[in-house]
Structure 1
Amino acid sequence: MSDFSERLAIRDLLENWVVWRDAGDWERFRTVWHDDGRMMATWFQGTADEFIAVSRKGFENGVRILHFLGGTSIDLAGDRAIAQTKMTISQRAEVESVACDVVCTGRFYDFLEKRDGKWGVVLRQPIYEKDRLDPIDPARIPKLDRDVLDGFPEGYRHLAYLQTGIGYTVKRDMPGLTGPAVTALYGRGKAWLAGGAL
């Protein structure tokens, strides 16, 4: 395949990830992952199969974590690639007894590999850049616990507040726009493209 065709196949995979996951199309969603694929998120870290199982259970219970994609930058190195895709994650839930939406802006940072002629996700690591919380009814404003809110990283503190409030355990050292975590992630990406292990 040409360089353009490889990039097109990767972009197609990334878009399918979002559409199929958010639609609850779990069978097709599984096809975007390699068998050893792993997912990192604020509320979950583990294998692709575990992620699908907990996402499906949440979906069936009314949890709505939705995604929207922007532009993508793809670094290709033979059968390996790193893709960075601008995205938003939105989640609706009650926050301090007030129905709210949280929108988090960031990037998906994907480690991809082509195996047996097919691209798949080996690791998806979101980068959380900034977020905000909005009540559905602007006349009702939730009273947030400032100490709890400030205890989460700046890039996803409102998302973490909401997710903690509905019972999730949130990872507190995810990569943000700047800092050692995202610098280390870029280093892992370079090593991956050079043939290193994850």
Structure 2
Amino acid sequence: MSTLSDAKREIREVVENWAVWRDAGDWNRFATVWHDDGYMTATWFQGPAKEFIEVSRKGFESGVNILHLLGGFSTDVLGDRAIAQTKMTILQRGIVEGVEVDVSCVGRFYDFFERRDGEWRIVRRQPIYEKDFMIPVAPAEYVPLDAELLHRFPQGYRHLAYLQTRAGFEIKPGLPGLTGEAVEELYAQGTAWLGGSTSAWAH
């Protein structure tokens, strides 16, 4: 019989597999961390996990350089539902205003999990963007940022959004940050999910 500690261990393994398999381009195994109705939100993508896998694969093959580091982990489990929060850093390298840069965005993965047929998998992943920064790969370089474009985005992911906008992506505004209405709404949805709501978006 599965125990609470077993559930937490299995959920943590799924979270870690997500980062390793996605960054390695292991798309067949990456697909196994999601339920069939899984949904992914990112700065540059919002939609079904199956579509996220495909666009990530195309980006990987075309040289888009996005990596993920994981840190502390906490999960709340109630029956066959769970909410997992994992400290993470998104790392992306690209060209901004003619200069090669690295952007680091620190935050949390906020994951809605469900156990179906004995398997814990992700139903919904919503990153929380807490703070970010941009540095040139060559320390002596200077990056002449457009201040108006930079401040168009929330503080938690404005440098990441700047790089991705310059790379041609359409960036979603108003995503959850460390504080504010968006993250409070997310927490309410998480509480409702643990309470048995019919949707990972309900509260």
Q: Shorter-normalised TM-score: what interval?
A: over 0.9
Deviations 1:105-157 (A, max 9, x none): 00000000000000000000000000000000011111000011011100000
Instruction: Give the gaps of 5 or more residues in structure 2.
Output: none
1:17 aligns with 2:21: no
Cα offset, 1:185, TM superposition: 0.2
Aligned-residue Cα RMSD (Å) equals 0.4
Q: CA separation in 2, counterparts of 1:64 and 1:16? A: 18
Q: Which amino acid aligns with 1:60?
A: E
TM-score, scaled to structure 1: 0.99
Q: Which amino acid in 2 is paired with 1:49?
A: K
Overall identity of the aligned pairs, in %: 63
Which residue in 1 is equivalent to 2:107?
106
What is the number of residues matched between the two proteins?
A: 198
**Which portions of structure 1, spanning 4 or more consecutive aligned residues, are displaced by more than 4 angstroms?**
none
Partner Cα separation in structure 2 for residue 85 and residue 15 of structure 1: 10
C-alpha distance in structure 1 between counterparts of 2:53 and 2:116, whole Å: 21
Hey, what does 2:65 align to over in structure 1?
Answer: 64
Offset, 1:57:
0.1
CA distance in 1, matches of 2:41, 2:66: 14
Q: Cα offset for 1:159?
A: 0.1
**2: CA distance between counterparts of 1:66 and 1:38?**
20
Q: Which runs of 5+ in 1 are unaligned?
A: none
1:169: how far off?
0.2
Q: Which residue of 2 aligns with 1:173?
A: 174
